[in-house]
Amino acid sequence: MLDLLHTFLAVYRAGTLTRAAESLGLSQPTVTAQLRGLESRIGQPLFVRGARGVTPTAAADDLARRLDGPMDALAGVVGGLLGTPGPAGRTLHLGGPAELMTARVLPSLAGTVEAGVSIRVRLGLAGDLLAELSDGRLDLVVSAVRPRRAGIHAEPLYDEEFTLVAAPLFLSARDRADVHELPLLAYAEELPIVRRWWRHVLGGPPPRRAVLVVADLRALRAAAVAGIGATVLPRYLVADDLTDGTLTEILPTDDPPINTLYLATRAATRDEPHIARARAALLSQARLW
């Protein structure tokens, strides 16, 4: 029965019989037969089969919630009895947003590399990275949105705080009090980050289109430093610029908009030595960011 429950949870987390079979080291017909055997024992269907995978029933959702912690704890006990090796020699597949990964995440993993862990990094958007995490192609993801996927464990990592900035010389030629007249630099045409700051701080939408759009916060910082316009950036990215006067904060506030970043892992693998080592390092270092 325990084997059947283990197979069920693998299918529930993977979303397809093929990926579950790969993760279990079994053939797909074996996984199908074990699922049918479990459904026969409990007397109700657990999944609806479809062309793109399986959809869990309400009974499956309930069973997965009850098994989530106990099955992972049991796997940890078995690993300890078998003398699971440490992190050295393992490869960590890590994903996250380019800017935070560059400025904060990768420097925080120096000790993990020194412990013998190799790291392979995938940069991208949260939705794509979380899909790769679910599929088993990534081990750990720094996500700008809270994951809601079955089998994914998420914990708050860092609250990024946003601020409106521009170069001092750019501002000296303008009336900084009239913030609505400033040329804007944005991440996308819809001004998602700028719009969020504007509504939070000023109570309304930004008044104009951006004069420059580029989907890279580091490029927006460079454009602001060059005096092209004003933009909204996370404070961690411009902290040194604000200290040395390269950039100036416009309309500073004690209540800036924030966005919580999450550290996401597959519940079944988050305690593997190389993943646990990286998780612990990031959770510790994030307090200093």
Confidence at 85, pLDDT banded by 50, 70, 90 = low
The answer to whether residue 177 scores a pLDDT higher than 70 is no
pLDDT of amino acid 6: 84
CA separation for the pair 82, 16 (Å, rounded): 29
Query: Among residues of the chain, what percentage have pLDDT more than 70?
Result: 92
pLDDT band of 2, cuts 50, 70, 90: confident
Question: How does pLDDT run across 119-151, given as a tens digit for each residue?
Answer: 999 999 999 999 999 888 899 999 999 988 878
Quick one: residue 116, left, alpha or beta (phi over 0 = left, psi -120 to 50 = alpha)? Answer: left
Task: Calculate the alpha carbon distances from 74 to 31, 48, 79 in Å.
Answer: 20, 28, 9
Tens digits of residue pLDDT in 224-259: 999 999 999 999 999 999 999 999 999 999 999 999
Q: Would the pLDDT of 203 be above 60?
A: yes
**SS3 at position 129:** helix
Per-residue pLDDT, 151: 81
Q: How many CB atoms lie within 10 A of CB 206?
A: 20
Looking up tokens 């914990």 gives 155
Whole-model pTM: value is: 0.69
Give 215's contacts (C-beta < 8 A, 6+ positions apart): 187, 188
* Contact status, residue 206 vs residue 230, Cβ threshold 8 Å: no
Q: pLDDT of 13-67, one tens digit each?
A: 777 888 778 777 788 999 999 999 999 999 999 999 887 788 889 999 888 878 8
Residue 262 pLDDT greater than 80, yes or no: yes
